[in-house]
């Protein structure tokens, strides 16, 4: 399954959820969905903004782990 | 014309269904007295008409709940899928009841009232059709709910 390591990158860049949500133009609730791996998909535009704001690559935010898709199968 | 929302057509339909629901209860309760007064004797069909009246009341009640969600601007939810599926099953029960009445009239009573028998058969087919239509609708709603959920969780 795809793991979103947004919280790790946010901690590295020392940026809060509210601040990041405001900067990339999404609601804190949607950012929370992304952070907690509850999201079903991520738009390229959102990924682009995240990478731009956190000064990182998509691979730094997204990771793949070979295990059951627990979140999306419920 | 606006369908969903506070002032949509859904609200008017909901009121109409509520009127039908309460009138249905009154008719169902008063039916024996009404038939007695009119001097009508439906015989064994009474045992089918009553359960079918209850079936129709349940269907109406389920549809009132369905139109509630239209008012709240949220038609594609799991609850509506369940309502449509349950209503489909209830309608199928209604169809079976009409079929039992039809077979009873043909086989046991040897009824020669063609209009009455055709009406029973028509009601049986009608309820069966409604049941199939509701099942298909519930499947459509289930898929739409899944798409909506996926869209909502696309950030």
Q: In order along chain B (155 residues), what is the average pLDDT of each group of 10 residues? A: 68 87 91 81 75 90 84 81 93 92 85 85 94 95 91 87
Please tell me the pTM assigned to this model. Answer: 0.73
Query: Which bin fits B39, alpha (ψ -120 to 50), beta or left (φ > 0)?
Result: left
Contact A39 B154 (CB under 8 A): yes
B127 domain-assigned: yes
Residue B6 is predicted with a pLDDT of 66
B3 domain-assigned: no
A41: which strand partners?
B154
B100 domain-assigned: yes
Residue B5 is predicted with a pLDDT of 65
Is A58 strand, coil or helix? helix
Give the nearest chain B residue to A30 (CA atoms).
Answer: B155
Residue B89 is predicted with a pLDDT of 94
Per-residue pLDDT of chain A (74 residues; tens, 9 = 90+): 889 989 898 999 899 999 999 999 999 998 999 989 888 899 999 999 999 999 999 999 999 988 765 554 44
Domains of chain A: 2-64 (1.10.260.40)
Name the strand (E) or helix (H) holding A63.
Answer: strand A62-64
B4 domain-assigned: no
Range(s) of the domain holding residue B60: 9-152
Which one, of A56, A55, A53, A62, lies nearest residue A35 by Cα? Answer: A62
Contact A42 B155 (CB under 8 A): yes
Contact B155 A41 (CB under 8 A): yes
Cα dihedral sign, B133-B136-B138-B141:
negative
Q: Count structural domains, chain B.
A: 1
Contact A39 B149 (CB under 8 A): no
B136 domain-assigned: yes
Backbone angles phi, psi at A4, to 5 degrees: -95, 115
Task: Say if the ipTM goes beyond 0.85.
Answer: no
Tokens at B28, concatenated: 């169902």
B148 domain-assigned: yes
Please, which residues have CB within 8 angstroms of residue A71's CB and are 6 or more apart in sequence? A1, A37, A38
Query: Which ranges of A1-74 does DSSP label H, i.e. alpha helix?
Result: 6-13, 17-24, 28-35, 44-54, 58-61
- A73 at interface of B, judged by CB pairs closer than 8 A: no
Residue A74 is predicted with a pLDDT of 46
Backbone angles phi, psi at B14, to 5 degrees: -65, -45
Write the DSSP assignment of B61-121 as a string of letters.
HHHHHHHHHHHTT--SSHHHHHHHHHHHHHHHHHHHHHHHHHHIIIIIS----HHHHHHHH
Which one, of B98, B70, B99, lies nearest residue B83 by Cα? Answer: B70
* A26 contacts on B by Cβ (under 8 Å): 155
Residue B51 is predicted with a pLDDT of 87
Give the nearest chain B residue to A45 (CA atoms).
Answer: B155
- A40 at interface of B, judged by CB pairs closer than 8 A: yes
Which of the 8 DSSP states describes residue B4? S
Residue A57 is predicted with a pLDDT of 92
Residue B117 is predicted with a pLDDT of 86
Name the strand (E) or helix (H) holding A64.
Answer: strand A62-64
């Amino acid at each position: 399954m795809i793991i979103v390591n947004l919280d790790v990158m946010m901690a590295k860049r020392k940026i809060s959820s509210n601040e990041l949500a405001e900067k990339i133009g999404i609601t804190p609730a949607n950012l929370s969905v992304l952070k907690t791996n509850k999201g079903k998909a991520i738009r390229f535009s959102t990924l682009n903004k995240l990478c731009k704001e956190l000064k990182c690559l998509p691979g730094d935010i997204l990771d793949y782990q070979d295990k059951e898709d627990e979140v999306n199968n419920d | 014309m606006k369908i969903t929302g506070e002032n949509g057509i859904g609200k008017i339909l909901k009121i109409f269904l509520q009127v039908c629901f309460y009138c249905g209860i009154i008719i169902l309760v008063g039916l024996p007295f009404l038939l007695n007064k009119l001097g009508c004797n439906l015989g064994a069909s009474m045992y089918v008409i009553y359960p079918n009246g209850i079936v129709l009341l349940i269907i109406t009640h389920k549809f009132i709940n369905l139109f509630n969600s239209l008012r709240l601007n949220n038609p594609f939810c799991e609850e509506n899928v369940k309502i449509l599926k349950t209503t489909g099953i209830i309608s199928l029960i209604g169809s079976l009841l009409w079929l039992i009445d039809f077979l009873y009239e043909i086989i046991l009573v040897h009824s020669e009232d063609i209009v009455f028998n055709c009406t029973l058969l028509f009601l049986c087919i009608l309820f069966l059709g409604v049941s199939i239509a509701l099942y298909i609708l519930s499947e459509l709603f289930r898929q739409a709910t899944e798409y909506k959920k996926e869209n909502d969780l696309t950030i």
